[in-house]
Amino acid sequence: MVFEKIRTIIAEELGVERETIERDSKLAEDLGADSLDAVELIMAIEEEYDIEIDDTEATKIKTVQDIIDYLEKVKD
């Protein structure tokens, strides 16, 4: 499941408890990601899914659900 894999990546990258990450969690406000964390998170997702996320798209990613939606869109 995409959510579970993303949850694991976020927990590792941001150093937060996996169980605290929900689909509606905001990366900055809820999970404490700063701009550097966000870049590293995007890079980890790109590596995991062997994709490249355009900078314009990356700036639109604010929540965990945004990541899932983006991955579902590019995998179709």
Total of domains in the chain:
1
The average pLDDT across 7-29 equals 97
Whether residue 68 contacts residue 3, with contact meaning beta carbons closer than 8 Å, is answered with yes
Active site residue 69: no
Average pLDDT, the chain: 96
What is the CATH classification number for the domain harbouring 45?
A: 1.10.1200.10
Q: Which domain holds residue 12?
A: 2-75
Nearest to 10 by CA among 67, 49, 58: 67
pLDDT at 72: 94
Give residue-wise pLDDT tens across range 30-45: 999 999 999 999 999 9
The average pLDDT across 5-14 equals 98
**DSSP states of 12-55:** HHHT--GGG--TT-BTTTTT---HHHHHHHHHHHHHHHT----H
Active-site pick, 30, 34, 55, 69: 34
